[in-house]
Structure 1
Amino acid sequence: MGTAAWPVLADEARLGVGAALPPLSVNDQFDRPVSIDAGTRVLLFAADKAAGDIATEVLRPHPEVLAQQRLVYLADISGMPAVITRMFALPKMRELPFPVGLVRDAALTAALPRQAGALTWIALDQGTVRSVETLPDAAALRSRLGLPAN
């Protein structure tokens, strides 16, 4: 099998509509467990720093939307060197007024759909995926959250 087949296999392994969200166990920037349970309505996933920057820009002035919309935000930091995480990223994240579930092991979210530089919005109903959307910028996230445009 050639390497050209790998991206296809990876795409086929992505979580889709009707699938059950696999169990995810992560902690936030304060090392507190982040709960993704049957009541979670939205999983917002940032697979890279650019996507995380979009989420931070929109959520920082509106931290209440996480509870209002029963939204859990996860950021994949697995590719970040531990020393950078500890010395720079975590102190900065601790200034945020909302929890960020930190994915330190890429295997935990390998099945989550992703696009470079964009957020993934996964709508859930009792742990089952109802829809998956790619949000390429802050305007798209604001719109999806029902927030006013800046």
Structure 2
Amino acid sequence: MKYAIALLFALLPVLAQALETGDKLAPWTLPDQHDQAYSLGPSTRILLVARDMDGAKLVKAALAEQPQGYLEARGAVFVADIQRMPAIISKLFAIPAMRDYSYRVLLDRDGQVASRYPGKEGQVLWLQLDNASLVAQQEYADANALKAALDQAKRP
């Protein structure tokens, strides 16, 4: 019985992550690599979430040749879950390197935002939003497919 209860509590976070079309996303605010705060709001149309470094590398590859403002022009934001990155590494190396990126990276240092959304490690979760409500979701494991989807996304 004790193991059944422990298993139930272990599965609760997984079960809580399920998102259904039409669900309203809870608001949140995260800093970017320049320590500028960004809040999820009605103007966000695409939320990209990377749970690990491999997912973040997919986004980096997809955006490699894109000009500054590319994501913003599509109403898109990118959340990187960096909770497993050692603080000394993020502070001294990773975040300073991110400051050279042509796109904004919202830094989820303690995993409180990324953990709200389903998604596999090594992939990028794409949440299509309308006024902070989920319209559709997709996962990408290939940078070229992610780039193609972003190229097709236009602000209304």
The TM-score, its normalising length taken from structure 1, stands at 0.89
Number of the residue aligned with 2:60: 56
1:27 to 31, 35, 49: 31
**2:40 match: secondary structure:** coil
Tell whether the 8 Å contact from 1:44 to 1:122 is kept in structure 2 after alignment.
yes
**1:110 match: secondary structure:** helix
- Whether 1:132 and 2:137 are equivalent positions in the alignment is yes
Identity of paired residues, percent?
A: 31
Tell whether the 8 Å contact from 2:27 to 2:39 is kept in structure 1 after alignment.
no
Q: Supply the RMSD in Å over aligned alpha carbons.
A: 1.8
**2:112 match: secondary structure:** helix
Which structure 1 residue ranges, 4+ long, deviate > 6 Å from structure 2? none
Number of the residue aligned with 1:81: 86
List alignment gaps of at least 5 residues for structure 2: none
Q: How many residues align?
A: 147
- Whether 1:12 and 2:9 are equivalent positions in the alignment is no
2:117 to 112, 123, 132: 112
- 1:10 partner amino acid: P
Alpha-carbon separation, structure 2, partners of 1:10 and 1:86: 29
Q: CA deviation at 1:116?
A: 1.3
Change (3 A) 1:7 1:61: farther
Number of the residue aligned with 1:36: 40
The TM-score, its normalising length taken from structure 2, stands at 0.86
